[in-house]
Homo-oligomer: A and B are copies of this chain.
Amino acid sequence: LFMSSGLEAAGSDTDILLMTGILGESVTFPLNIEEPEQVINIAWNSETSVAFVTPGDPGTAPKVTVTHQNYNDRINVSRQNYNLEISELRMEDSGIYKADINMKTLETTVTTTRRYNLQVYRRLGKPKITQSLMTSVNSTCNVTLTCSVEKEEKNVTYRWSPLGEEGNVIRIFQTPDNQELTYTCTAWNPVSNSSDSISALQLC
């Protein structure tokens, strides 16, 4: 039954496709429709409704109606496969999206549902390393380095090289032997990474 509805065999009707988007940029939800000529209409919904799509006349673009003001002027539908694109992504676009795809069969219409979990992230700005809590004993100095991005974001990971440590705070025991070192902090989130470095010479 599933294959005969003209949709790709891979993936069950209840699977959720995980998707990441970048604030201000675009994301495209893939529908994987194998027989676009059987499509009667597609209803897109999230927390609110999103759009209602019907095929255009042969050779013309699909007809797209935005059904909630949150998506005014931000929706595009591809001519060939009806994939939905949301542009100028906002943080609050994050959430579950569903497409109810209605297709022709011999007697009636059959609905297949596609589900997506979209998470929108900011492109991380350059992190900044700050140092504090210096104490010097026997020409060894004890420094705490803190790495931070401008706004506190969800899902940010910090890694330090060459130490290989995770977390945004590290403690360093700096001896005269390792003055050549450079400490680099890289902040990662699912859509970007960015680094800042500090030379051991700048410490203590």
Interface residues of A (CB under 8 A from B): 41, 43, 45, 48-49, 52, 54, 65-70, 72, 98, 100, 102, 108-111, 113
Assuming A43-B43, A45-B49, A69-B102, what are 19 further A-B pairs, CB within 8 angstroms? A41-B65, A43-B45, A43-B52, A43-B67, A45-B45, A49-B100, A52-B67, A54-B65, A66-B109, A67-B111, A68-B100, A68-B102, A68-B111, A69-B109, A69-B110, A69-B111, A70-B111, A72-B108, A72-B109
**Residue among A41, A69, A109, A113 having the largest count of chain B Cβ atoms under 10 Å:** A69
The docked-state distance in angstroms from the alpha carbon of A68 to that of B100 is 7
A-B contact pairs, 11 of them (CB 8 A): A41-B65, A43-B49, A43-B52, A43-B67, A49-B49, A49-B100, A52-B65, A67-B102, A69-B109, A69-B111, A72-B109
Establish whether residues B43 and A68, one from each chain, have CB atoms under 8 Å apart when the complex forms: yes
Are A69 and B113 in touch, CB under 8 angstroms? no
User: Oligomeric state, in number of copies?
Assistant: 2
Residues on B with beta carbons closer than 8 Å to the beta carbon of A111: 48, 67-70
